[in-house]
Amino acid sequence: MFFFKSIPLGLLVLCLFHHSAIGASPLYHICFSQQNYPASSPYGANLNLLFNLLYTKVPPTGFGLGSTGHAKNQVNGLALCRGDVSSKDCNTCVVDASKDLRELCPSRKGAIIWYDHCLLKYSDVGFFGQIDTNNRFYLYNVQEVENGTVFNEKVKELLSGLSNEASEDNQKFYATGEVQLDTFTTLYGLAQCTRDLSGVDCKKCLDSAIGELPNCCNAKRGGRVVGGSCNVRFELYPIVST
């Protein structure tokens, strides 16, 4: 079960009462451009070309970006798959994302959508290499741990280490890790950036996301801060494929 709550600056909180297998369903989307394009316009045709480009460009490495068209009809876009996702599942996610965005944000000149396995973003405005500070949402488990203060410190410690590791990985900007809390409890974490950023900006983005955790995920059993340029996540169960 999900609970949705609108909060300032376009952020969204999604509350999970328990671990949910989201599968191919979107986590969230934002139609961030207020401008529309006619269905038969060159912009629409260029958007289709961009989606076709990302279908083929992204799966081999898990990331790709590109631009199609010129001047006012130029479309810029990127897609990122989670670091452990196979090429086949990455392709499926990017294809689903392009289809869903057409339905959820019809004729919008800029939009973004997130899934467990990938994100896809496009815009008529150039955004490559810039940290996206506008498009962000939270997702967390409403169940709380018993010793929240100590748990929060362990979460911050784990994710801060993963922020350093991911930002120094110039090939993938992706890191996962775990820490044993006690005999029966393991804390798992993940950090990832889009690869159009520099290493410095990747770390800046991740550290900013980690800094948001007290606002959404204080003493929660699991949580995420998900944005257009990076995301961090922690859980008390394994997050990625082995």
**Position 21 in a domain:** no
Paired strand residues for 231: 192, 226
pLDDT of residue 242: 67
Which of 94, 123, 152 is a domain's end point? Answer: 123
pLDDT digits (tens, 9 = 90+) for 175-190: 999 999 999 999 999 9
Within-domain flag for 47: yes
19 located within any domain: no
Domain that holds residue 113: 31-123
pLDDT band at 15 (very low <50, low <70, confident <90, very high): very low
Mean pLDDT of 90-104: 97
Identify whether residues 147 and 228 lie together within a single domain: yes
Number of domains in the chain: 2
Q: Which residue has the higher pLDDT, 155 or 39?
A: 155
DSSP state of 150: H
Q: What is the DSSP letter of 36?
A: B
What is the rounded CA–CA span in Å between residue 137 and residue 232?
11
- Asked if residue 8 has pLDDT above 50, the reply is no
Q: What is the CATH number of the domain that holds 96?
A: 3.30.430.20
Q: What is the mean pLDDT of residues 58-80?
A: 97
Nearest to 114 by CA among 233, 190, 25: 25
Is the pLDDT confidence value at 3 over 70? no
What's the rounded mean pLDDT across residues 137-144?
97
Angle, vertex CA 1, rays to CA 180 and CA 217, nearest 5: 40
Do 7 and 14 form a contact (C-beta atoms < 8 A)? no
* Structural domain ending residue among the three candidates 123, 153, 171: 123
Last residue of a domain, one of 101, 123, 145: 123
Which residues are registered as beta bridge partners of 126? none
Tokens encoding 93: 């996610």
The model's confidence at residue 202, banded by pLDDT at 50, 70 and 90, is: very high
C-alpha separations of 87 from 54, 92, 108 in Å: 13, 9, 29
CB-based burial of residue 22 (10 Å sphere; 0-12 exposed, 13-18 middle, 19+ buried)? middle
Report if residue 74 sits inside a domain: yes
Predicted confidence (pLDDT) at residue 11 exceeds the cutoff of 90 = no
Task: Look at residue 39 in the predicted model and tell me its pLDDT.
Answer: 82
Q: Who wins on pLDDT, 21 or 130?
A: 130
The pLDDT > 70 percentage for the chain reads 90
CA–CA distance, 226 with 222 (Å, rounded to integer): 13
Residue 142 near residue 16, CB atoms below 8 Å: yes
Same-domain status, 98 and 155: no
* Number of other CB atoms surrounding residue 155 within 10 Å: 24
Residues in the chain: 242
